[in-house]
Chains A and B, each alone.
Chain A
Amino acid sequence: MLSHFLQKLGHRSLSIFARLGRASQFLWATLLAMPSVLLRPNLLIKQMYSTGVQTLVIILVAGVFVGMVLALQAYIVLVDFGAEESISLMVSLSILRELGPVFTGLLFAGRAGSALTAEIGLMKSTEQLSGMEMMAVDPMKYIIAPRFLAGIISVPMLAMIFMAVAVLGGFFVATDMLGQYEGVFWSQLHVKVDFYNDVVNGIIKSAVFGFVVVWIAVFEGYDCVPTSEGLGQATTRSVVYGSLAVLGLDFVLTAVMYAV
């Protein structure tokens, strides 16, 4: 019984390490294939449209509502202390430092990451990737690298848009709904929010999240078992691992950026 358990444990750990190894090799091969993307900018533009632009709607809607809810909650808490003029500070700092990058990462994993995994996995199971190899076209260069690069470029841009829209959402709630003066909102924000410490750090976070989410999504597709069941599992894993990675890394990055 115990030996059976140990055997299973060992087998499982080995397969996890083998997967990690494959994922690293895959990342290396993708990075090597990156320069060739510059020779085919039209592929990159097409991918930026399908990963970036098509994620825009969900980012905009989520951003507005997150900003509005935050402003409301901030008001409810702060008004007891007579500190309701700090709404803009609370909204903008939570958005810029945490919620902007994290929400963007999560939404990107759900909307674009899953689509990337499914697309590449289906290409694998319909032999399109093998077919390309036999036509002497490297799928790493033609399929993987453009998608990877498009994701890495798109996510920080999406995060910036999310942040801007969320702060605006908070602004409308604070001024139009709660009757705060516009000047109070903006001046608090202007004085207390630091460009490098808050805005740039948030964008750096989103860039890291983007890299990891796209890596996971593309690898899961490329490594999937080419059956309908395997493809479904790969898509699920892509979203689950991508989201967990975003949340876990967010803690690490916050610790490094603000606490140490």
Chain B
Amino acid sequence: MDDLITYSQQQPDVLVEIRDMYFSRGGRPIFDGINMDISRGQVTAIMGPSGTGKTTLLKLIGGQLKPDAGTIKVDGEDVHKLSHKALYELRQRMMGMLFQSGALLTDLNVYDNVAFPLREHTPLSESMVHHLVLLKLQAVGLRGARDLMPAELSGGMARRVALARAIALDPQMIMYDEPFTGQDPISMGVLVSLIRNLNTALGLSSIVVSHDVPETCSISDYVYSAGKVVEHGTPTQLSASESPWVKQFMGGLADGPVPFHFKGAAIMDDLLQGGVK
């Protein structure tokens, strides 16, 4: 807690500020008073095992879910105190989000998907939209795929199209939800370099939620780990961490503080029951 405060004082340019945030779902606490600072201009990774609420955290930052207690500020504005209209304005101005599935609109082709936010939010002429769409598609290397329908794209291509759509309105921040999951090595490499390069080239701030340790560490400036923010630091600091939780996760060890066996009765008792209830 103390070191977090000093950290945010050292880095005055905090884009997302989470303070004492509690969130539970179905009676199970997911976040238990976490604090987090996400700096402008950096790639910040949030890593942790599945089911620790990483995607939930992105939805909380994006205002799609409401915390039980605590505040989340994006660019100085408390996301959950905004009116419906102000929240949509904040999203339009600040946020892009890349969903795990891509979340492309299935009834529109690639071109129209990328053009969608431009047509909805800007008064630009069709020829201007055309230029912008082609430039965004060029940035992700899919200008030639503009006439394909989402169903015709591979998983990696769909995510790249979704990325082009996410940067269409030039947001200040992009949230990536598990961008590497289920990708072959080539698409994974493409996405890794895209996230890093776009962040630098467009002066973005990126939040990457992932459990792919080496890929994520290779591109991030700062890393938070696990559900309750067990530890944070630069990738090198985290790899050198003494915490058994972090060690198990970063090293991919099968057993440790996160047990291999799901919680249950002792095996002897279970077997001796002999299937009789």
User: Taking beta carbons and an 8 Å cutoff, which residues of A are in contact with B?
Assistant: 123, 126-128, 130-138, 142
A136 B103 Cβ-Cβ under 8 A? no
Among B43-51, B84-92, B190-198, which stretch is in contact with chain A? B84-92
Query: A127 to B55, alpha carbons, bound, how many Å?
Result: 12
Chain B residues positioned under 8 Å from A130 (CB to CB) = 59, 64, 99, 103
A135 B117 Cβ-Cβ under 8 A? yes
Chain B residues positioned under 8 Å from A136 (CB to CB) = 88-89, 91-92, 117, 120-121
Chain A residues positioned under 8 Å from B96 (CB to CB) = 134-135
Option from A128, A138, A142 in Cβ contact (under 8 Å) with B103: A128
- B100 CB within 8 Å of chain A: yes
Chain B residues positioned under 8 Å from A126 (CB to CB) = 101, 103, 106
Residue pairs across A and B with Cβ atoms less than 8 A apart, 26 shown, are A127-B103, A128-B103, A128-B104, A128-B106, A130-B64, A130-B99, A131-B97, A131-B99, A131-B104, A131-B105, A134-B62, A134-B64, A134-B91, A134-B99, A135-B91, A135-B96, A135-B117, A136-B88, A136-B117, A136-B120, A137-B116, A137-B117, A137-B120, A137-B121, A138-B88, A142-B120
Number of contacts between A and B (CB, 8 Å)?
A: 54
Q: Residue on B with the closest CB to A138?
A: B88
CB distance from A86 to the nearest CB of B (A): 51
Query: A142 to B88, alpha carbons, bound, how many Å?
Result: 14
Query: A86 to B97, alpha carbons, bound, how many Å?
Result: 67
Query: A132 to B116, alpha carbons, bound, how many Å?
Result: 10
- B95 CB within 8 Å of chain A: yes
Option from A123, A134, A135 in Cβ contact (under 8 Å) with B120: A135
Chain B residues positioned under 8 Å from A135 (CB to CB) = 91-92, 96, 116-117, 120, 165, 169
Query: A138 to B92, alpha carbons, bound, how many Å?
Result: 11
Query: A198 to B140, alpha carbons, bound, how many Å?
Result: 62
A131 B103 Cβ-Cβ under 8 A? yes
Closest 6 CB pairs of A and B: A131-B103, A136-B92, A127-B103, A134-B97, A136-B91, A136-B88
Chain A residues positioned under 8 Å from B95 (CB to CB) = 134
Chain A residues positioned under 8 Å from B89 (CB to CB) = 136
Chain A residues positioned under 8 Å from B64 (CB to CB) = 130, 133-134
Query: A142 to B103, alpha carbons, bound, how many Å?
Result: 15
Given A133-B64, A136-B121, A137-B117, A127:B100 Cβ within 8 A: yes
Query: A133 to B99, alpha carbons, bound, how many Å?
Result: 12
Chain A residues positioned under 8 Å from B105 (CB to CB) = 128, 131-132
Chain A residues positioned under 8 Å from B104 (CB to CB) = 128, 131
Chain A residues positioned under 8 Å from B62 (CB to CB) = 133-134
- Known A126-B101, A137-B120; 11 more pairs at CB < 8 Å: A130-B99, A131-B104, A133-B62, A133-B64, A135-B116, A135-B117, A135-B165, A136-B88, A136-B89, A137-B117, A138-B88
Q: Residue on A with the closest CB to B89?
A: A136
Query: A100 to B96, alpha carbons, bound, how many Å?
Result: 49
**8 Å CB contacts to A: which residues of B99-131?**
99-101, 103-106, 116-117, 120-121
Chain B residues positioned under 8 Å from A131 (CB to CB) = 97, 99, 103-105, 162
Query: A128 to B96, alpha carbons, bound, how many Å?
Result: 14
Chain A residues positioned under 8 Å from B169 (CB to CB) = 135
Chain B residues positioned under 8 Å from A138 (CB to CB) = 88
Which has the most chain A C-beta neighbours within 10 Å: B89, B117, B169?
B117
Query: A133 to B79, alpha carbons, bound, how many Å?
Result: 14
Which has the most chain B C-beta neighbours within 10 Å: A131, A133, A135, A142?
A135
Chain A residues positioned under 8 Å from B91 (CB to CB) = 133-136
Query: A128 to B113, alpha carbons, bound, how many Å?
Result: 11
Query: A240 to B194, alpha carbons, bound, how many Å?
Result: 48
Query: A89 to B162, alpha carbons, bound, how many Å?
Result: 61
Query: A128 to B59, alpha carbons, bound, how many Å?
Result: 14
Q: Residue on B with the closest CB to A40?
A: B120
CB distance from B239 to the nearest CB of A (A): 32
Query: A190 to B165, alpha carbons, bound, how many Å?
Result: 61
Query: A126 to B100, alpha carbons, bound, how many Å?
Result: 9
Which has the most chain B C-beta neighbours within 10 Å: A123, A128, A130, A134?
A134
Q: Residue on A with the closest CB to B95?
A: A134
Query: A135 to B64, alpha carbons, bound, how many Å?
Result: 12
CB distance from B31 to the nearest CB of A (A): 19
